[in-house]
Amino acid sequence: MLLNPTTFFFSFHLLLSFLTVAATERLYSHSLFIFYILDILNLPSSSFLVMAAEAFWFGVLLLLLPCFSAMAKQTYIVQMNHHSKPESYATHHDWYSASLQSLSSDSDSLLYTYTDAYHGFAASLDPEQAELLRQSDSVIGVYEDTVYNLHTTRTPEFLGLDTESGLWEGHSTQDLNQASNDVIVGVLDTGVWPESKSFDDTGMPEIPTRWRGQCESGPDFAATLCNKKLIGARSFSKGYHMASRGSYLRKPREVESPRDRDGHGTHTSSTAAGSLVANASLLGYATGTARGMAPHARVATYKVCWSTGCFGSDILAGMDRAIVDGVDVLSLSLGGGSAPYYRDTIAIGAFTAMERGIFVSCSAGNSGPTRASLANTAPWIMTVGAGTLDRDFPAYALLGNKLRFTGVSLYSGTGMGNKPVQLVYNRGSNSSSNLCLPGSLNPDLVRGKVVMCDRGINARVEKGGVVRAAGGIGMILANTAASGEELVADSHLLPAVAVGRRVGDQIREYAQHDPNPTAVITFGRTVLNVRPSPVVAAFSSRGPNMVNPQILKPDVIGPGVNILAAWSEAVGLTGLEEDKRKSQFNIISGTSMSCPHISGLAALLKAAHPEWSLSAVKSALMTTAYTHDNTKAPLRDAADGTISNPWAHGSGHVDPSKALSPGLVYDIATEDYIAFLCSLEYTNEHVQAIVKRPNVTCARKYSDPGQLNYPSFSVVFWNKKKRVVSYTRELTNVGPAGSVYRVAVTSPSMVRTIVKPTRLVFNNVGEKQKYTVTFVASQGAEKTSRSGFGSIMWSNPQHQVKSPVAFAWTQLID
């Protein structure tokens, strides 16, 4: 099809407009633009045409984009040598302002001044100004703002927590609830819906006097909405607004306030520390008492995420403020790609939080089952993966050949009845209709029928909306190889069931080869005591840790699939514009959901053991985690049904009841983390950027980063000549005096593990004992092995202190 001159001019005008937006906002999603152009020109979005158009337009984009980029202003985060401030300036803010005024007359260019989480500021600069700043001796680094993404009721019982009292079953920890009243959980997310019953403060005592936070007001948020439960609510949007400035393609500007208009932040904060709410459910699903992990703790929310993402400049401002406000736990269900720690804004902010006694818990990411897909890998951060619960929401697809397949769904409408209707599945080389992308379905072919859609590209719930818009009355959503056997329930807009890859392949075969394929979809509501569980979620990001291979990540997994928690009533259940359904609770999945579980558990442990260090809390959660499911079999991976390993589940699934009394812990001091950073061969400036101390000389550093006293092991055999790796660890007794522990090891056949001594005696509480473990790879193992896994466990009749061990040969890391 040839374009006439008018159409070509119009499309070229759109291209130039898009380039301007791209230069201003750094949006390089040319694929989205191609679909937009094809839609404007009313052209079919076939794979061939899209590929051809992409090749042409992207070539033009590459030629013209530098011209626009040179003119663009954007947010930069500037890291300063905090101790180089001239005495002529009263404050660092004055110094930073003067530095910017020498570059620009724009009085609004300074966005944030950071004092605690980070030393420096965020500013609106053009590339030339950023380069001039880099040349200053007082500047450590100048970095473009980074966009981070969100990693998006039965859990208390599943974790062994008593619903009514909030105490661990089998333990009588005196005054734990009262102690929890003094613990403050800070949540950086999309804000909060303060009217939710999960933030009811009935019976709570006065707010701790040490609290320095506040409830910020906004056009849709009164400061009086906070109470003795929700004690703080702030928002940070300057980075977001800077990135959105000047774009006519952006969404309408959001109201600047702490109010949650997404739902994610309300869900995570109530998961961590929500109050007890009886008869909670999602439209009848998962009915029961909803409560957070630490229901008597306080909540403070920091809105740093907006419709276009979570900007690093806003996240740093939120962390900076939370540290000053006085939170005890920071929960961040967000992240980006991996980067060196001195370039990772979350890692830098978390280091200061750790120094101030604040436990930082972050989601591992939703990029699984791809290997080496982790986010938030710094050792001073608790990195949390996701697993399933023993609760499910079954739905069924009955085919015309009498075969009945089980999947999952949260559909809550009237259903499609019991009469089979025609099943449609269109899989062609030049068609995207099998993916049910917007505009891909022909209404004449799908009207009144059940449509089978392949998972991938667009959101699962959006596929159902596409089917409904085209006249379909039901959907079977089938996994592909990328998502394996993982089943995630969604609150679909029409009768729908999600099935795994193997079942999906059988239904695809039937739909394509039966002369008259039919299907009917029915629903089974809520089922408990599902076996096996937990199972590692396929979406949960995996190791190895590419930032530092000698630190095993994730640390643990927690409940992250089909989690019921409070929800914002400003948005529909699916977040789709056409979804007008509202609910006080919603069920969603992601490592975003598992992270606040661990944040809340850390709050309980801090309340139960105020004398413990942060690393002791982390160690207790890791070394008591379990690696067998409720059938007594090893944990399995939902991606393919195989046995999971520590790159997927870390130390295992958290067991808070056992974490209360771990027996022994691996303690780590701030100076140990500095020695660890020095062992990474960072420059002194890089280390100073993280620890924010002057004159760091790295006089003390480890010979190997794996020497850090971490509760898990990651052993790398770098070449065939280095077949022996030896580490020394130190254990601290937090159990009774006179405890005796003996060691047991497991190793793959190609590695021999030697521990000395094999017996540790702790005569006193708080006593420390060291042991050395030597790992010896067999001759030639590097030729046949890529990875392997084992464990080291110290135990006595009362306690088992277990550490996973991951082995890798250099061909896997390189």
Active site residues: 189, 264, 592
Q: What angle do CA 798, 802, 806 make, to 5 degrees?
A: 170
Distance from C-alpha of 618 to C-alpha of 583, rounded to nearest angstrom? 35
| Residue environment code for 297-311, b if the CB has 16+ CB neighbours within 10 A, otherwise e | bbbbbbbbbbebbbb
Decide the pairing of beta strands 139-144 and 74-80. Answer: antiparallel
The tokens describing 283, both together, are 């439209």
Distance from C-alpha of 358 to C-alpha of 356, rounded to nearest angstrom? 6
Q: Using an 8 Å Cβ cutoff, are 345 and 312 in contact?
A: yes
Q: Is the dihedral of CA 241, 243, 247, 252 positive or negative?
A: negative
> How many C-beta atoms surround the C-beta of residue 75 within 10 A?
26
DSSP 157: H
Distance from C-alpha of 676 to C-alpha of 678, rounded to nearest angstrom? 5
User: For residue 466, how many C-alpha atoms fall within 13 Å in the half-sphere facing its CB?
Assistant: 23
Distance from C-alpha of 86 to C-alpha of 148, rounded to nearest angstrom? 34
Decide the pairing of beta strands 277-282 and 285-290. Answer: antiparallel
Instruction: Return the residue matching tokens 């080389």.
Output: 429
Closest CA to 742 of 729, 724, 728, 756: 756
Instruction: State the Cα torsion 726-727-733-734 to the nearest 10°.
Output: -130
Within 8 A by CB and 6+ apart from 669, the residues are: 613, 615
> How many C-beta atoms surround the C-beta of residue 218 within 10 A?
16
Helix/strand/coil for 475 = strand
Within 8 A by CB and 6+ apart from 326, the residues are: 184, 208, 210, 211, 212, 213
Instruction: Return the residue matching tokens 């450590």.
Output: 140
Distance from C-alpha of 729 to C-alpha of 680, rounded to nearest angstrom? 19
Q: Using an 8 Å Cβ cutoff, are 624 and 660 in contact?
A: no
Q: Using an 8 Å Cβ cutoff, are 340 and 128 in contact?
A: no
Q: How far is CA 188 from the centre of its chain?
A: 12
Can you point out the beta strands (E) in 555-683? 556-559, 563-566, 585-588, 664-665
Concatenated DSSP letters of 100-148: HHTT-S-TT-EEEEESSS-SEEEEEE-HHHHHHHHTSTTEEEEEE--EE
